[in-house]
Amino acid sequence: MKKKVVVAMSGGVDSSVAAWLLKEKGYEVIGATMCIGGREGNGRDAIRCCGPSDIEDARRVALQLGIPFFVFNLREEFEREVIQYFCEEYQRGRTPNPCVLCNEKIKFGSFLEKAKALEADFISTGHYARLEFDISTLTYSLKKGADGKKDQSYVLFSLTQEQFQHTLFPLGSYRKEEVRKKAFQLGLRIHDKPESQEICFIHDSSYHSFLSERLKECIESGPIVDQEGKVLGKHKGIPFYTIGQRRGLRLAKGRPLYVIGIDQKKNTLIVGEEKEVLGDNFIVDSVNWILQQKIISPLSARVKIRYNHPGAEATLSPKGGDEMEVRFESPQKAITPGQAAVFYKGDIVLGGGWIREVLKS
């Protein structure tokens, strides 16, 4: 009997080709799109990801590939697990990564449960990442995708062995240009569809209007100060700023100034020169280890502190519980509370956690 796989089809080229590849390999393939927003309201804050046009694109691809197609309504789950988290983190003066939570809670959480209800053995996505199973240890390793420019292993660090057991990543060994070429050869109309936005539920170039609508009375202006506490200006609201930010400060001081600290309790931004954005030591909590439960002694690894960070060599030291202290060999720019720190050994993802605080050297 064929193994059954439900492919999370976004209406884009990656998931479409993933569905075709799995069908070619002999799986019983079902396509499904997550309805997580549609369009709410008419303002600039309206959510449009996975809306009617994307669903229709996915439906057409499924029809062309000759596979069944479903729409999973996950609006409530997405609102609760991703959007509320996104807004609350900014309100706390932290910088969230909603893609990680969406993968953990929605795609490999709620979507997986709905796929199991269809008696599926696996779910699949268009992520550029690889999974390898070690039969001797009965564990899965998460590895970087072959396309270094498109590798998405960073946003998958929080997944578990149980989730990997039901997951397929057919694009892991492909490069983006190969995927687009295959879509063109298959005659899929989405072969040249643009990449999705970095934050899929923000449909303009700024998240400010979205937060303004969502947080409303929680946003208030406050002072911008230097490290000595001297007031240099006024900010528009803590949620609109992140560590390392330069634009939007509206400070005419004759030299570039950057956000180097956010004091949410005092509703204050602290700014400094570019060199003061550098740091090398920080605490990570809620650590998830993919191949082991925990470490009991210092460990060397390459650590990425945001999606487009190249990674840098660091030492990880256990602090008890699910906390780790990370110390880079050389200072890195804009270590930002709320962002994910992901640990690598070569191409293998060891695990990762959430940056809680930056320590003074």
- 200 in active site: yes
User: What is the Cβ-side half-sphere exposure of residue 161, based on CA atoms within 13 angstroms?
Assistant: 13
User: Alpha-carbon dihedral of residues 79, 84, 86, 92, nearest 10 degrees?
Assistant: 180
Do 64 and 187 touch, CB atoms closer than 8 A? yes
- 102 in active site: yes
CA–CA distance, 345 with 347 (Å, rounded to integer): 6
CA–CA distance, 303 with 354 (Å, rounded to integer): 12
Q: Give whole-number Cα distances, 320 to 45, 135, 314, in Å.
A: 41, 31, 19
Do 106 and 36 touch, CB atoms closer than 8 A? yes
CA–CA distance, 14 with 29 (Å, rounded to integer): 15
User: What is the gyration radius of the CA atoms in the chain, in angstroms?
Assistant: 22
Residue of 35, 49, 102, 218 marked catalytic: 102
Angle at 302 between CA 298 and CA 303, to 5 degrees: 95
CB atoms within 10 A of CB 18: 26
Residue of 35, 50, 87, 200 marked catalytic: 200
Q: Give whole-number Cα distances, 91 to 84, 279, 326, in Å.
A: 10, 23, 25
The catalytic residues are: 102, 200
